[in-house]
Copies of this chain bind each other. A is one copy, B any other.
Amino acid sequence: MSSLPTRRLLDALGTRLPLIQAPMAGSQGSALALATSRAGALGSLPCAMLSPDQLRTELQALADAGGGLPFNVNFFCHAPPSSDDVRESAWRAALAPAYAAFGIDATQIAAGAGRQPFSHALADVIEPFRPRVVSFHFGLPSAELMTRVRSWGAVVLSSATTVEEARWLEAHGADAVIAQGLEAGGHRGMFLHDDLTTQLGTLALVRQAVQVVHVPVIAAGGIGDAQGVAAALALGAAGVQVGTAFLRCPEATTSAIHRAALAGPDARHTALTNLFTGRPARGIVNRFMREWGPINPAAPAFPLATAGMAPLRSAAEAQGSGDFSPLWAGQYAAAARDVPAAEIVQALAAGLPA
């Protein structure tokens, strides 16, 4: 028998299970979202790195094949930084030994942002598709954009990494809060703070978030199996969001290098790093993180750090190496298995009350 918070969440999401497949930009598209939604969870489409045309194509794929199932479309809503030539130059100089080792001409690397925040232009693209759920990372978009999203009848989610952020999101109109504990892979959703010491472990965060907000709380971070789901519900969470456990599924677009790292012993050691994008995100520790970070205050502001890293990543990957790749993973990568996504959903669902 589901708890009241779980029933409220199921009503909001329109799913059979209180489980969300976490949006993972760069490692999945509509195929994983379709597979997880078909299995009864809420599939998510990460949109931060899609052009408007790519976004339309992916949404059309979900509409064509989804049979009316609910989906979540996920956007970043950071304030884009102004470019900073001095900082960019200093960072390129810091990376110079790596450029030299790969024979990369650093003067030919274009600057620029790897990720666009949610905007009216992107809202124009998704509006005709009327997604059931729209989720955000790094807070919420402007009140005007929020009004627009709500006008479609969409349910709005966002991530909180502290008790204060959970309160803020509820006060600013989130219909449910994703409590993203420190164990989570990928970008920390932190937006009221930039001090990493404010970040709470999943257990401590979920337990406290459920006591300060009235909307349903979705636990995220370090959860990858039935036992993790049961623990999250015991803490008072209405449901669970899981990412890393899906990264090795055939429906994900995770690179071969990333899959190998997830399946090997290196996946035991992840760290928060700002090297790849400018914001802290959790990934498997590799050479780039060991030698330049994992946290380096000289890295350009989010998302500008992507530009300087990209050619190093490409050159290393061309040699079969993940030394300069973002190998995003949470602290329970051992939960990821090389099985269809529906099997992961089924394993997670075994932790729900009968």
Contact = CB atoms under 8 A, between A and B. Distances in A.
Interface string A170-205: 000000000001110000000000000110111111
Contacts of A231: 203, 207, 231-232, 234-235
Interface string A319-331: 0000000000011
A253 B16 CA distance: 51
A254 to B, nearest CB: 20
Interface of A: 162-164, 181-183, 197-198, 200-205, 207-208, 211, 221-225, 227-228, 230-232, 234-236, 268-272, 285, 294, 330-332, 334, 351
Number of copies: 2
Given A183-B203, A207-B225, A207-B231, 13 more contacts: A164-B268, A181-B203, A183-B200, A200-B222, A200-B331, A201-B201, A201-B221, A202-B202, A203-B222, A207-B227, A227-B234, A227-B235, A227-B236
Given A234-B227, A268-B163, A222 B207 contact: yes
Contacts of A200: 183, 222, 331
A161 to B, nearest CB: 12
21 contacts: A162-B268, A163-B268, A181-B201, A182-B201, A183-B203, A183-B204, A197-B272, A201-B201, A201-B222, A202-B204, A203-B203, A203-B221, A204-B330, A207-B222, A207-B332, A208-B332, A211-B334, A227-B234, A230-B234, A231-B231, A231-B235
